[in-house]
Amino acid sequence: MTKFLRTSSAVALAILLGTMATLPSEAARGGRNAYDGLWNVSIRTQYGSCGALSYSLRIAGGRAMPVDQSYQAYGVVSPGGAIRVTVSGGGQSASGSGHLSSRSGGGRWRIASGECAGTWAAGRVSFH
C-alpha cells in the first residue's frame, strides 16, 4: 500500500470508504458478494488541496474494510455493484459513492468539511 501523501488525503479516503455502509448487501444476509476481494483504489482531488493517494481495500461478504490500521473504513457494496463508503483518519472523515464492475470501478468522494472533493478509480487485484 502506498503511504498517504497528506493527512487531508487520509481524510478523503476515510470519507470515501464510509459512505458504503449505507447500502444493503449480501453480507447482511450472510452471503458472498460478487465484488469480494482485494482492490487497489486511487483518489484524485479535483477541488481543494488534498492531493492524490493510492490504497488497498478489501471487500468481504459485500463489506468494505481497510487492509491495514492506518485508517478506518466502513462501507457496503450492493449485489449490483453500487458502493458507498466512509473513511476516517487523522481526525477527519470522507465519504464516497460509485459503482464497481467485475474488475474495475469508479465514482466521486468528498471530505465532510467540504474543503476537498474529487474522483476515485479502483482495480481488482484478487477475487477472494
Q: What percent of the chain has pLDDT over 70?
A: 75
105 in any annotated domain: yes
pLDDT tens readout for residues 3-46:
333 444 444 444 444 433 333 433 344 567 899 999 999 999 99
Q: What is the CATH number of the domain that holds 38?
A: 2.40.128.120
Cell numbers for 20: 458504503
Total number of domains constituting the chain: 1
Q: Is 91 exposed, middle or buried (0-12, 13-18, 19+ CB in 10 A)?
A: exposed
User: DSSP letter at 19?
Assistant: B
68 in any annotated domain: yes
Q: What's the predicted TM-score (pTM) here?
A: 0.74
pLDDT at 92 exceeding the cut of 70: yes
pLDDT at site 91: 77
pLDDT band for position 58 (50/70/90)? very high
How far apart (Å, rounded) are the C-alpha atoms in residues 53 and 39? 14
* pLDDT, mean of residues 83-100: 89
70 in any annotated domain: yes
* pLDDT, mean of residues 40-65: 90
pLDDT at site 10: 46
**Structural domain that includes position 26:** 7-126
2 in any annotated domain: no
1 in any annotated domain: no
pLDDT at 48 exceeding the cut of 60: yes
What residues does 125 pair with on adjacent strands? none
97 in any annotated domain: yes
How far apart (Å, rounded) are the C-alpha atoms in residues 44 and 102? 22
Residue 98 CB-half CA count within 13 A: 24
How far apart (Å, rounded) are the C-alpha atoms in residues 32 and 63? 10
How far apart (Å, rounded) are the C-alpha atoms in residues 110 and 48? 10
pLDDT band for position 53 (50/70/90)? confident
